[in-house]
Amino acid sequence: MTIRVLIVDDSKFMCHRIQQILEEEPDCQVVGIAENGMQAVRLAQELKPDVITMDVEMPVMDGITAVKKIMANTPTPILMFSAMTHVGAQATLDALNAGALDFLPKKLDDIDSDKALAKIILRRRVRMVAQQAERLHKRKRIITPQPKSAAAFKNRSGKFDLILIAASTGGPVAVQQILKHIPAHCSAPVLIIQHMPGSFTRSFAKRLDEVCKINVVQAEQGDLLKPGIAMVCPGGKQLEISQQFNRCQVMLRDKQAGEIYSPCVDLTFMSVAKNFTGKTLAIILTGMGTDGAKGAQQLKKQGAEIWAQDEASSVIYGMPKAIADAGLADNILNLEQIGQTFDRLN
C-alpha cells in the first residue's frame, strides 16, 4: 500500500529534502506540497493524503491554525516538524493539543547525529503516523464499556501514596487530560515519565502547571517527593528514587550505553518497586513499544495497582497493550474514565 504524503513548509529546500528522503522508499509518494497553512487546508481536502508533515512557522497561515482547520474539516494524521527550542516546544505542544499526532525535530542532526539513521527514523515515523488514520475517528472521548465495576476503580486501601504516569506518542495530550482531574488537595506525589526531548520537558511541565489544580514542575536532582506535587522527568535523563533518612528523593542521571529510552519508564518503575514502601498506582498511557512492562511487573510484586489506557482512546496502542497482554492491568480504562476516577482520589 502506497503512503500518500502532503508536505507543508515555506522552505523550498526543506520540502525538497523531505520529499527526497521519503521517496527513497518505493511505497512513499509525495502527492502535494503547500507553502503555507492556507494551502495545506485546501490541499488536504482536495488530495486526501494519508499523512501530512507540517511546519509551525509559515506566512499567511501558521501550522497550528492549519492543524485545527484540517482536524475540523478533513481529519488527517499530522506529523509536526519542530525547532528544538523553548519557543518551538511551546508551539509543538499547541499543535498536539490542536490534533497533531506526533512531532520530530526539523533538523536531521537533532533527530540523530547519524544522518542515515535520522532518515530511517523520519520514514518510520511517517509510516507510524499514517497508520493512525482509522484511529482518528475513535479519539473523540468515547466511553467504552467498563471492564470492572465502578467500585473496583478504588484501590484496596482507599488511598495511594504515589502516582506514576507513563506515556510516549500521544502522551502530552493524554497526560494533560487526566492530570487536570487530580484535585488540589491530593496527598500523593506524582511522577510523570513522558518520552520527550530535553528541550521540551520544562515547557511541558509549565503547560501542565497552568491547566492543573496541583503544582507541576520539572524534576531536579535531589527533589523530595512531596504531597500534591507532580514532577516531570527531564528529557534525556533517567529518573530513579532513593531513600534518604526516611524520605524519598529524585536521583537523575544521564543515559547509559544500551538504554533505548531516556527517560525510561522501566527504570523509574523498577526504582520505585525497590525503594518505595507505600501504596503505588502506576498508569501506562498511549505510546509505541513496550517500555514500562518490565517495571510494572516489579511494581505488581510489591503490591502496586496498575492501570492501562484502553485501545480506543490511545493514539498508539503499544505500551498499554504490553501491560494488558501480560495480565498486569487491574483496570483498562479510557481517558475520561481515568479522569473521573482521579476526581475522587485521595
Which residues are annotated as catalytic?
168, 195, 291
**Amino acid (1-letter code) at residue 198:** G
Ordered strands of the 162-167 beta sheet: 215-218, 229-232, 190-194, 162-167, 280-284, 305-309, 331-333
Beta-ladder partners of 309? 333
DSSP lists the bridge partners of residue 331 as: 307
The CB density around residue 345, as the number of other CB atoms within 10 Å, is 20
Closest CA to 316 of 61, 101, 9: 101
Question: What is the Cβ-side half-sphere exposure of residue 261, based on CA atoms within 13 angstroms?
Answer: 22
In this structure, the number of other CB atoms found within 10 A of the CB of residue 297 comes to: 18
